[in-house]
A and B are shown apart, each in its own frame.
Chain A
Amino acid sequence: MRIVVRRGLSIRLAGEPEQSIDHHANVAKVGSRGQDLGPVRAEVLVEAGALVAAGAPLFRDRTRPDIVFVSPVSGTVERIEIGPRRRLSEIIIATDGSANIAKFDSSSIRTRDGMRALLLAAGQWPALRSRPFERIADPDVTPSAIFITAIDTAPHAPDPLPIIEARRDDFRRGVEAMTQLVGGPVYLCQPDVAPLVQETGRLKTVRFAGLHPAGLVGTHIARLHRPSESEPVWHIGYQDVIAIGHLLETGTIDPFRIVAIAGPGMRRPRLVRVPLGADLHALTRPDLAPGPKAIVSGSVLSGTEGRFLARYHLQATVIERKPRPSRHWLIEALDKAQMPAPFIPTQALENALGTDAPVVPLLRALSIGDAEAAQRFGCFHLAEDDLALARYVTGGQTDFGKHLRAVLDSFEERA
């Protein structure tokens, strides 16, 4: 199947990454922030100072203890910080460079339960996320479909095709594993080229053409298979699929991801092979252009500033940090007291969402927190990422993603 996304915008930004992979990036520390994982109440399984192998469990979800989060590297746990309501706020591991890696038993993967148990034990399960609500998938639920996102249209994202081509067998194994997890269809959403994997029965390859947000999973879900509260859909990124394929073959985790570090603040924007949660500050420091910079995990549209690469991000963007202009105190005070200006409907805003939802009524409903109306206009297949472009286009004053999260939370609490 081929789908052309007519809406969409091209975002111009300096610092396009060179699409050749730097394999020698040195990562001394990796970290994980709880806020990147959703509302996970963590039960920590290690102590600060403990030695951990790559693949050793670090913490698990209190409410769903099957879901385990593992260390991507071998090293020493340097710091564990728990925030309010037992939410993990940060965990940092210093790598020791040894090849100390945990081995998992991958003999019982012929059955759905065996596959599920392996993915849970090896800490690969959190790669699967579920919509509505964009949470880590519930292992006790059977989804109505799984989406594999093998396309990335965000500005300066790595090109998925050469990465998949280099690890064709792992990718194919990972895709087959996904078809085992679900009784319904598995959609492999890919760029507009020949199918990456042979189509079989429930596995459907869908080619997407168009500008961003043609590569967002929210766009794919809206076109192919809308979820409801009782029938969620899961989605997973292509590099996580490759990692699962690697796990099934070797019994060890593959914590490495090909990540783009790019943007106008980088002197040598490029792709690097780094473990999950890599320390972005240390990684970018040798190549920063002079002047104050903001280092963002994720794309310029939806990324968040932070020291470590977030769990689901495959790129980091370095942008100029604009100094605050010095202004008269009265103007400053008036400006600070102001409510954000409302957005004005324009063609650019219409093109910022990849779904066929009525854009302006949906954004108006979200910005006043009208949950019922937002549901009627279709917001269950959306997540923060999908509204990032709308926020960017309107000048970044109104965070529609935050409003959407508030609306989704209100539905989630009711459920």
Chain B
Amino acid sequence: MGGVWHRETISWLIAAAAFPAACAAIGTFGPVALWHMLLALGVAIVWQLIFLWARAQPVSPIALVTAISIGVLAPGDFSPWQIILAVSFGAVIGEQIFGGWGRNIINAAVASLAFLYFAFPQTLVAGGGHLLALSVIPGALLLVATGIVSWQIVVSAILGVALASFALGQDPTIIAAQGSMVFGLVFLVCDPVTSSATRPGRWVYGLLAGGLLALFGWTDTGFDGPQAVVFATLVASLFAPLVDAAAISVASRFRRSRNG
């Protein structure tokens, strides 16, 4: 007997939530997005099967979400071997060696994309516009309503973007029109596994991710490409366990002082 929140149910739901965004990305960027998705999906599945064989790790449809993320956030002139290399790095180092999705500390798509941007910086990557931004909304609502994505992270990340933008004297609404940023915010920053897991920790994590996104975007990479959100997620998710540990120790100290 069991309830429904099994790992595979959740990954199917996230994949379903990402589907409209995948269609919008194919509409915006053309067949290159679809081609990258299929290639990334194939590579991710191969690595899942290898780890199923070697380490008895169950396979997961989360490969679909990884593939969609790469298709949406890497629509550039990459050659196939570059994508294969990047996704192999992301799937193995980001996910499989930790024991598969659910035990990882960074998102596989984030690791793949960071690898792509760093290793092949000369390739220009386009960012999505209004259509992509709008297509993310229904999926985001589905994920928040089902409790897979915590609303605390969504709210605090938006707050973090706004605060950091105001601090830099910029207009945060420009970011909201960037489809890549909105997609990354929902599917990368709010990944339930790699984000913080305590309630106070989630607020800090969201503020950190949002703040870094605005900082990277306004001062370094700009918002024409998707780099800002990927790097912000990478840094924020590496800090997530530390944020949790701090939140827990503050909470237990508070409880001890209250109970004498």
A358 within 8 Å of B by Cβ? yes
Chain A residue numbers with a CB within 8 Å of B9 are 395
A326 within 8 Å of B by Cβ? no
Would you list which residues of chain B between 40 and 68 have a CB under 8 Å from chain A?
52, 56-58, 60
Given contacts A339-B58, A345-B192, 17 further A-B pairs with CB under 8 A are A226-B259, A300-B1, A338-B58, A339-B99, A341-B58, A341-B60, A341-B102, A342-B103, A343-B7, A343-B102, A344-B102, A346-B147, A346-B148, A358-B197, A361-B244, A394-B2, A395-B9
B5 adjacent to A393 (CB under 8 Å)? yes
Query: In the docked arrangement, what's the CA distance between A269 and B32, Å?
Result: 60
Query: In the docked arrangement, what's the CA distance between A349 and B6, Å?
Result: 11
Tell me how many residues of A have a C-beta within 8 Å of chain B. 33
* Mask: chain B, 1-28; 1 = CB below 8 Å from A; 0 = not: 1111111111100000000000000000
* Mask: chain A, 365-383; 1 = CB below 8 Å from B; 0 = not: 0000000000011000000
B56 adjacent to A377 (CB under 8 Å)? no
Chain A residue numbers with a CB within 8 Å of B252 are 376
A50 within 8 Å of B by Cβ? no
Query: In the docked arrangement, what's the CA distance between A395 and B52, Å?
Result: 20
A396 adjacent to B150 (CB under 8 Å)? no
A193 within 8 Å of B by Cβ? no
A338 adjacent to B8 (CB under 8 Å)? no
B100 within 8 Å of A by Cβ? yes
Known: A344-B193, A358-B248, A394-B6. A338 touches B52 (CB 8 A): yes
Query: In the docked arrangement, what's the CA distance between A344 and B3, Å?
Result: 13
> A11, A339, A340: which has the most chain B beta carbons within 10 Å?
A339
Chain A, residue nearest B60 (CB): A341
Chain A, residue nearest B6 (CB): A395
CB < 8 Å: which of B1, B101, B146, B193 contacts A396?
Answer: B1
12 contacts between A and B (CB under 8 A): A226-B259, A300-B1, A340-B58, A341-B58, A341-B100, A342-B101, A344-B5, A345-B193, A345-B197, A346-B10, A392-B2, A395-B4
Query: In the docked arrangement, what's the CA distance between A344 and B193, Å?
Result: 6
Query: In the docked arrangement, what's the CA distance between A393 and B6, Å?
Result: 8
A337 within 8 Å of B by Cβ? yes
Query: In the docked arrangement, what's the CA distance between A347 and B143, Å?
Result: 11
A397 within 8 Å of B by Cβ? yes
B251 within 8 Å of A by Cβ? yes
A99 within 8 Å of B by Cβ? no
Chain A, residue nearest B7 (CB): A341
Query: In the docked arrangement, what's the CA distance between A226 and B147, Å?
Result: 30
Chain B residue numbers with a CB within 8 Å of A337 are 56
B244 adjacent to A358 (CB under 8 Å)? yes
CB < 8 Å: which of A319, A346, A360, A377 contacts B1?
Answer: A319
Chain A residue numbers with a CB within 8 Å of B147 are 346-348, 350
Chain B residue numbers with a CB within 8 Å of A415 are none
Chain B residue numbers with a CB within 8 Å of A395 are 2-7, 9
Min CB–CB distance A205 → chain B (angstroms): 22
> B1, B57, B251: which has the most chain A beta carbons within 10 Å?
B1
Chain B, residue nearest A337 (CB): B56
Tell me how many residues of B have a C-beta within 8 Å of chain A. 35
B198 within 8 Å of A by Cβ? yes
Chain A residue numbers with a CB within 8 Å of B247 are 358
Chain A, residue nearest B9 (CB): A395
B56 adjacent to A339 (CB under 8 Å)? yes
* Mask: chain A, 387-404; 1 = CB below 8 Å from B; 0 = not: 000011111110000000
Min CB–CB distance B59 → chain A (angstroms): 9
A360 adjacent to B7 (CB under 8 Å)? no
B57 adjacent to A346 (CB under 8 Å)? no
Chain B residue numbers with a CB within 8 Å of A391 are 2
Chain A residue numbers with a CB within 8 Å of B1 are 300, 319, 392, 396
A334 within 8 Å of B by Cβ? yes
B3 adjacent to A346 (CB under 8 Å)? no
A397 adjacent to B102 (CB under 8 Å)? no
B197 adjacent to A397 (CB under 8 Å)? no
Min CB–CB distance A126 → chain B (angstroms): 28
B102 adjacent to A361 (CB under 8 Å)? no
Would you list which residues of chain B between 212 and 260 have a CB under 8 Å from chain A?
244, 247-248, 251-252, 259
Chain B residue numbers with a CB within 8 Å of A344 are 5, 7, 10-11, 101-102, 148, 192-193
Chain B residue numbers with a CB within 8 Å of A341 are 6-8, 58, 60, 100, 102
Chain B residue numbers with a CB within 8 Å of A346 are 5, 10, 146-148, 192
Query: In the docked arrangement, what's the CA distance between A343 and B150, Å?
Result: 16
Min CB–CB distance B144 → chain A (angstroms): 9
* Leading 3 A-B pairs by shortest Cβ distance: A347-B147, A342-B102, A395-B6
Query: In the docked arrangement, what's the CA distance between A348 and B100, Å?
Result: 22
Would you list which residues of chain A between 8 and 63 have a CB under 8 Å from chain B?
11
A349 adjacent to B248 (CB under 8 Å)? no
A342 adjacent to B3 (CB under 8 Å)? no
Would you list which residues of chain B between 90 and 137 have a CB under 8 Å from chain A?
99-103
Chain B residue numbers with a CB within 8 Å of A334 are 52
Query: In the docked arrangement, what's the CA distance between A99 and B58, Å?
Result: 58
Query: In the docked arrangement, what's the CA distance between A356 and B241, Å?
Result: 19
Query: In the docked arrangement, what's the CA distance between A142 and B146, Å?
Result: 46
Query: In the docked arrangement, what's the CA distance between A346 and B9, Å?
Result: 12
